[in-house]
Structure 1
Amino acid sequence: MLALRKFLAPLVATLVFAAGFTALGTTSPAEAAVPATIPLTFTNNSGRGDQIYIYNLGTQLTTGRQGWADANGTFHAWPAGGNPPIPAPDASIAGPANGQSMTIRLPKFSGRVYFSYGQKLVFKLTTGGLVQPAVQNPTDPNRNILFNWSEYTLNDAGLWINSTQVDMFSAPYAVGVKSPNGSTKTTGRLKPGGYNGVFNSLRGQPGGWANLIQTRPDGTVLRALAPGHGIESGGLPAGVMNDYINRVWARYSTSTLTVTPFANQPNTKYFGRVSGNVMNFTNSSGAVVTTFQKPDSDSVFGCYKQLDAPNDLVRGPISRTLCAGFNRSTLLTNPNQPDTSSANFYRNAVTNHYARLIHAQMVDGKAYGFAFDDVGAHESLVHDGDPQQAYITLDPFN
């Protein structure tokens, strides 16, 4: 059965955290001047001759409606879906040829800019919304299409735009935003040889990590799935993180894990101790504020299920910190979390090697290798409160 991934605009909650819990609806006079649309320059430096197709899909922030934007930034709501899902309207924009650029408009959206090489993507509509590609499912119609996407939110507080590997590592690209002073912040660019470097390193990593790589029937490399999807598809062992999880649980059954989730609130601390299968967190008064069941590997990689992180000021921030510590394998070496020094990350043999290898190949060391890679500001995200222009640049594969 086709895996359904409905577009429910998760970026808004994520970006509240990324912005240090700034209220996104609060604007200063400068922020209120953000126009209804801003230009996005889309440049094709891929070195490939494929036709590029661009899609700007998301949720309209003023109404909460799901839909797509055309090249002019005009919003189009999706029509009603069906059960079984029905084909979505063709929202594609023909992209630039290799070596060329084009400019489209980004509206006030929380959404994604997809881009595909050589073939249009297949989108369908179910009664709950848009069905997005889920290529960990071998029957997904986009399984053999080369594509990727960037995530962004544009609102009265500015633009947040990232490169993401939370679901997969695929066609290389960088993102950027121009400030009023003319300077441009960029992120997401791989080192020379970095694209092949990630795949070659996965192939050389024992324990099933090579099975994250998906190819076409002709052998063309398409992507590496994130490890949670690798577990879902059967390529990565379901217990790949169990040894580390067990050691963490044993360690904090006899000692205390201290979490200070807000850098600007050093006196807000929570204290974790394990009792049986549960880690209880107390505040400075000794009251239990939240509890976590012992997570499995999938919960660690996805930062969900046993490590669910609601958009609140207690459980969510603690969970994000735990998730980062598990993925980066810092929970045994530092009882005070978050550990934000990248020099301490991924030092254990049992770790998120997918995220480790991607970070190692980034020019600035930043990536979204897992959902809360922004803990300690290690995410591939740029923001400006008064954005003049956004950029997405397709980079060479070699």
Structure 2
Amino acid sequence: MISRRSFLSGLGVTAVAAGAAGVAGFAPAGTPTAALAGTKGARAASLPLTIVNNSGRYPNSAVRAYIVGTNLDTQEQCHVTADGALTPVKESDNTDGGFTDYSIPLSDGETQISLPQPLSGRMYLAFEDKLKFKVVVDGNGKPALQYPAGHVEGDPSYNVLYDTFEFTHKSSGASDDGMYCNSSMVDQFSAPIAINLKGEKDQTTGRLVEGGRDRIFDAIAADPDLSPLIVGDRMRIIAPSHGLDLGAFPDDYFAPYIDEVWSHYAGNDLKVTTNEGTFTGRVADGLLKFDGGVTPFEKPSTRDVLFCDGALAAPNDPTTGPVAAILGAGFNRSTLLSHADQPTRDAATFYQTEISNHYSRILHENMVDGKAYGFAFDDVADFASYVQDHAPKSVTVTITPF
């Protein structure tokens, strides 16, 4: 299983996120979770990838695509060329003012690219200006790619409007082969991107309701805790996790809710059900302790909740990791006090308290299918803008109207 953390940790120096695997109904980005049907044997051909620009704001000539990630066979960091070649990055690629130029300009009409495999990575879509990717040498002496960080004001791509499509594409005859992809808002929300994946099924996610981008920015601007997360003239919204690190979001925001959870479950049972069964926990000696071999959890901080890390870090194992993922979702969705049986699967019960991840709530409220990747464990109980297929035939990424 490829956890969302391992999926993203291989992307580059500045790409940081969290995730876990193994929860019933839970499929992190890049996480193969079911048996592959009908593709045993030699590697399949590259997957047809289509980019459609329906932004209504930017012509194709103003849009560039970048496809970057990790070759799952060699573990080399790579980029994809316009003709579909999976090419290792190297320091000598830093020719454009000290940065690389891995951009793929959009064609007139629809842009067709052959997506090679085995590759786990991201496609960036940048508007008007180029993104500043730089190849450096990592601690092992190997070439590594520094990625844009829209939440870092000093980042050279900070003033570029862009967004991302995350994916893992592999076909080796193994049971976890296929295409796994999402439109993530875990780090930021900026450009509206929808995904259509065809294969064993025809699936679409990530599509905003009409006027959804403006509605999201309006709702964020109206919330005094969230409004400082807006960058520029509605260029992007930084996720509260990164906003906290920048001093733009209260670092004790979740503290009262966390205190209530810890107090309540000192005298009541909390039950968490994963693929491995149901685990029962209580707070004792300051730790949330479950039966069944689950590692006890320390009391989390607001930062731990927003990043789903630290005290809520999810190891890639069958017990502690899935329980951590469900706890992280319960804190962000503020369902832990209202529901002693987790995970909760009724979206109407999510984000109903004053203290909650309202950034994620606003995103979900403005998606056609109600699914968004608002925080790292938003895929618990299948609420993320994530699709997968074990016999993929094509994927289309559409920039929808702004």
User: For the superposition of Structure 1 and Structure 2, which TM-score range results when normalised by the shorter chain?
Assistant: 0.7 to 0.9
Other-structure match for 2:214: 196
Matched, 1:212 2:216: no
Q: Quick one: distance in 2 between partners of 1:30 and 1:6? A: 26
Q: Give a deviation string over 1:278-315, Cα, whole Å, max 9, x none.
A: 211212xxxx5311111111111111111101111111
Partner residue of 2:278 out of 266, 269, 281: 269
Partners in 2 of 1:381 and 1:95 — Cα distance? 24
Structure scoring higher RCO (CA < 8 A, sep ≥ 6) equals 2
1:244: which partner in 2?
A: 257
- Cα distance, 1:368–1:34 mapped onto 2, change above 3 Å: farther
Asked whether the 8 Å contact 1:213–1:221 carries over to 2, the reply is: yes
Further displaced range: 193-202 or 34-43: 34-43
The alignment status of 1:295 with 2:300, answered yes or no, reads yes
Aligned twin of 1:117: 127
Kindly, what percent of the aligned residue pairs are identical?
38
- CA distance in 2 between partners of 1:45 and 1:34 (Å): 33
The partner residue of 1:375 within 367, 380, 386 is 380
TM (norm. structure 1) is 0.87
**Distance in 2, Cα, partners of 1:81 & 1:131:** 14
- Matched residue SS, 1:30: coil
Out of 347, 351, 361, the position equivalent to 1:346 is: 351
TM-aligned CA deviation for residue 198 of structure 1: 0.7
- Does 2:170 align with 1:155? yes
What is residue 307 of structure 1 aligned with on the other side? Answer: 312
Q: Alignment length, in residue pairs?
A: 373
CA shift at 1:80, angstroms? 4.7
Residue 227 of structure 1 aligns with an amino acid whose one-letter code is P
Q: Using the TM superposition, give the Cα deviation of residue 31 of structure 1 relative to its aligned residue in structure 2, in angstroms.
A: 5.0
Gaps in structure 2 of 5+ consecutive residues:
1-8, 139-143, 172-176
Deviations 1:191-214 (A, max 9, x none): 0011011111111123x2111111
Partner of 2:70: 59
Residue of structure 1 aligned with 2:323, choices 309, 318, 321 = 318
Aligned position for 2:85: 74
Cα 1:6–1:61 shift into 2, 3 Å: closer
How far apart are the structure 2 equivalents of 1:34 and 1:19? 24
- Return the match for 1:89 from 66, 85, 100: 100
Displacement of 1:272 in angstroms is 1.6
Q: Report SS of the residue matched to 2:214.
A: helix
- Residue deviations 1:341-386 (CA, integer Å, cap 9, x gap): 1111001110000000000000000010011111111111111111
Deviation digits for residues 138-186 of structure 1 (CA, Å, limit 9, x no counterpart): 1111111100000001112211111110100111110111126xx6311
1:199 partner letter: F
Could you say which residue in structure 2 is the equivalent of 1:38? Answer: 47
Aligned to 2:4: none
2: CA distance between counterparts of 1:168 and 1:311? 25
Question: Alignment RMSD, CA only?
Answer: 2.6
TM-score by length of 2: 0.87
Post-superposition CA distance 1:101-153 (Å, at most 9, x none): 11111111100000100001001123222111122221111111100000001
User: Among 176, 185, 199, which residue is 1:165 paired with?
Assistant: 185
CA shift in 2, pair 1:16/1:337, >3 Å: closer
**Aligned AA for 1:7?**
L
Contact 1:78-1:88 at 8 Å conserved across structures: no
